[in-house]
Amino acid sequence: MAKVLMNGNSAIGEAAIRAGCQCYFGYPITPQNELTEYMATHLSRKKGCTFIQAESEISAINMVYGASLAGVRAMTSSSSPGISLKQEGISYLAACELPAVIVNMTRGGPGLGSISAAQSDYFQATRGGGHGDYRTIVLAPSSVQELADLTYKAFDLSDKYRVPLVILGDGMLGQMIEPVEFSYEAPKEPIIRNNALRGAKGRTSRIVKTFTSNPATVEEINWSLFRRYQLIKQEEVVWDTFMVEDAQLIVVAFGIAARIAKGAIKSARIEGMKVGMLRPITLWPFPAEKVREVANRTNYFLVFEMNMGQMIEDVQLALEGAGEVSFYGRTGGVIPTPNEVLRVISRLYYQKGLK
Amino acid sequence: MKKIYTRPKSLKRTPFHYCPGCGHSITHKIMTELIDEMNLQDKTIGIPPPGCSVFAYNYFDIDMAESAHGRGAAVATGLKRAYPEAIVFTYQGDGDLAAIGTAETIHASNRGENITAIFINNAVYGMTGGQMAPTTLLSQKTTTTPYGRDDKIEGYPIKMSEILALVKGSAYIERVAVNSPANIIKAKKAIRKAFQVQIDCLGFSMVEILSPCPTNWKMSPVESWKWIDEVMVKEFPLGVIKDITGKKDAG
Amino acid sequence: MKGYIEIDQVLCKGCEICTFFCPKGMINSSDKLNPSGYRVAVFNDNSECTGCAICAVVCPEVAIEVYRG
């Protein structure tokens, strides 16, 4: 298929339909409305598919839970304040081992914040977000093309491990228009998972539950989840690197911040500074081993995020004191320019006496 | 002699954990009788709530999935839309349906979702130990209205059936009670009709069931069954509140 | 004798609802404890049972089976 120009939000919608998403439930919130609208236009008319504009984000995630019970691919999307409301449902999805794709086109916070791009939901996304011991896989795309590609991957991974999965984008990625190519063709037949609740016909009845009165049983459920999380950590870590081979200073950035950092690094290279970048694509599981590997070559790291410093904790944990980690961030929806980041890189580069 | 009354097939052999005289038990029984009689065991999916009846899945021998508190109508919506061949019911208490889940319930009803809500109204929070419910009667004492519910402070008992009857997408709403042989038979008839409305794809159906909670009402089972007739029905009158089918009895 | 009932002694919780509603007053509470510690109801068969099944309809525990001839 030829490339088409599309905004990021719509690209997720198109990719989701091609990934076999049958149900979308959402509630309007800026800056992700184009996704909800895309599904209203394109998914609702597809045979056997459902689009509902729910009465709240809480309802939307619980509708996803219901559709996931029936064994079909389902998704919801929102932006930061709405994602906070969805946390209850995500916790239940995790506990019941139900796949679901949740898109967060993050905006400035806390509170109502701003409608501009931010990355301040990193902790919420990578630490589970709701109550209880659980994790969600978190994918962080940094272009419209990657939004589409990671959307297919999102449904596959979520189904494979039976865990809810968060696509952590931001308001800028959602709004920006770029060429995108869709490599998937929508499946001819609906995808229906095993172990779905579709009536006890020819088998014994099934129960999907989270509550038991015996704490030891709940502990065992947690162990079973964490054994799976361990497997995900071993198998599914994804990252990207940019000019790290000879780099004296490594910028660690994800999502749209990595796009901005890339511009800054290119300029820095022109000025003769040996700067590279490590870009985690899975934020959970975090590419800790890759960070340690890069630390064999240089001691100097600059974590750049559009928040007050959240991923930096994962970088520090990964390094276990092995490197020197600096931080630069803008937050609240302020979008830094590559030049601004270049100034930070230059200052750090010469302060540390790098050549 | 012929056995004329026995345990329904779709009711598991597990003894109920409910207190003696509890309305949940009666409701489970008549629902499973109906599931047998209407031949729905292999296509019905139940959504029980948090609360005493969270363990409903231990008794109904059908597919069941627990919902978060108040979200039954949303979960049922997602499930039914994804798999319209199923008969989907939510089983919800008064706190679940009339307090924390009011929005989900009203909007599922307004969309005319083809689901059935079984709404247990016992005017009290059962499992948490007898706190005020949105349906607690005025001057009724609970652990959080120790001096009796005062409309100046706690407002009035909310009437969900009447509210939902105003919503255009609802098809059938009836309030019944499970406190006497006649009322139990009427309750069963109402649930049968609600299921039939769903089978006929006519829209949202709900049966509100005035249900005894002897433990939290601090009464004997017999007293609690009488209290429904003597006190509760005055605030929550029994009968069909909305019926768009035009037929009196279920088919 | 037109009918009779059997009360499952394990399921019965001694709530006395059947006792209250039996039109012939044939079901009584007893001092007999079941494994859960409830005082179970007993059927006093004096041949007046019609097998009307009211006791079974009201029994929350589904502990009563009814026979009619």
ipTM field: 0.96
CB C28 within 8 A of CB C42: yes
* Assigned domain for B248 exists: no
User: Is the confidence at residue B249, as pLDDT, over 60?
Assistant: no
3-class SS shares of chain C: helix, strand, coil, % to 5: 15, 30, 55
User: Is the confidence at residue B248, as pLDDT, over 60?
Assistant: no
* Assigned domain for B67 exists: yes
Strand partners, A179: A5
Cα dihedral across residues B56, B61, B67, B72: positive or negative: negative
What are the DSSP E strand ranges found in chain C? 3-7, 27-33, 39-43, 64-68
- Alpha carbon of B72: minimum distance to chain C alpha carbons (Å): 25
Which structural domain range is residue C33 located in?
Answer: 3-68
Instruction: Point out the residues of chain A with pLDDT beneath 50.
Output: none
* Assigned domain for B198 exists: yes
What is the reported pLDDT for B242?
A: 98
**Which residue in C20, C57, C66 is closest to B184 by CB distance?**
C57
Q: What percent of chain B has pLDDT over 70?
A: 98
**Which residue in A55, A66, A202 is closest to B78 by CB distance?**
A66
User: Is the confidence at residue B172, as pLDDT, over 90?
Assistant: yes
Closest-CA residue to C43 (of C61, C57, C24): C24
Closest-CA residue to A206 (of A96, A336, A117, A316): A96
What is the reported pLDDT for A210?
A: 87
Strand partners, A50: A23
Q: How many domains is chain B partitioned into structurally?
A: 1
Q: Supply φ then ψ for residue B104, to 5 degrees.
A: -60, -45
Which structural domain range is residue B54 located in?
Answer: 23-243
Q: How distant, in Å, are the alpha carbons of A306, A333, B135, B204 from that of A117?
A: 8, 5, 44, 40
What are the residues whose beta carbons fall under 8 Å from the beta carbon of B140, sequence distance 6 or more?
B123, B124, B148, B149
CB B125 within 8 A of CB B133: yes
Determine which helix (DSSP H) or strand (DSSP E) holds A293, and give its type and residue range.
Answer: helix A288-295
Q: B57 vs A89: CB contact, 8 Å cut-off?
A: no
Q: B82 vs A66: CB contact, 8 Å cut-off?
A: yes
Query: Domains (ranges, CATH) in chain A?
Result: 4-235 (3.40.50.970), 240-351 (3.40.50.920)
Rounded to an integer, what distance in angstroms lies between the CA atom of residue B79 and that of residue A65? 8
Rounded to an integer, what distance in angstroms lies between the CA atom of residue C55 and that of residue A328? 76
What is the reported pLDDT for A355?
A: 79
Number of inter-chain CB pairs under 8 A, B vs C: 75
Write the DSSP symbol of residue A112.
Answer: T
Strand partners, B89: B46, B116
**Which residue in A54, A200, A210 is closest to B63 by CB distance?**
A200
Position B247 confidence tier, pLDDT thresholds 50, 70, 90: low
Q: How many domains is chain C partitioned into structurally?
A: 1
Rounded to an integer, what distance in angstroms lies between the CA atom of residue A58 and that of residue A83? 9
Chains C and A share 3 or more Cβ pairs within 8 Å: no
Q: A207 vs B77: CB contact, 8 Å cut-off?
A: no
What is the reported pLDDT for A213?
A: 87
Q: How distant, in Å, are the alpha carbons of A80, A200, A221 from that of A332?
A: 12, 50, 38
CATH of the domain at B92: 3.40.50.970
Q: What percent of chain C has pLDDT over 70?
A: 99
CB A318 within 8 A of CB A291: yes
User: Is the confidence at residue C1, as pLDDT, over 80?
Assistant: no
Asked if B228 reaches chain C (Cβ–Cβ under 8 Å), the answer is no
Asked if B100 reaches chain A (Cβ–Cβ under 8 Å), the answer is no
Q: Quick count: other Cβ atoms within 10 Å of Cβ B204? A: 31
What is the reported pLDDT for A160?
A: 97
Q: What is the pLDDT of residues B9-60, one digit of tens each?
A: 999 999 999 999 999 999 999 999 999 999 999 999 999 999 999 999 999 9
* Assigned domain for B164 exists: yes
Position B251 confidence tier, pLDDT thresholds 50, 70, 90: very low
What are the residues whose beta carbons fall under 8 Å from the beta carbon of A298, sequence distance 6 or more?
A247, A248, A249, A250, A323
Subunit partners of chain C (3 or more CB pairs within 8 A): B
CB A78 within 8 A of CB A104: yes
CA-based nearest residue in chain A for residue B100: A58
Residues from chain C that touch B10, judged by Cβ atoms under 8 A, are: none
CB A163 within 8 A of CB A230: no
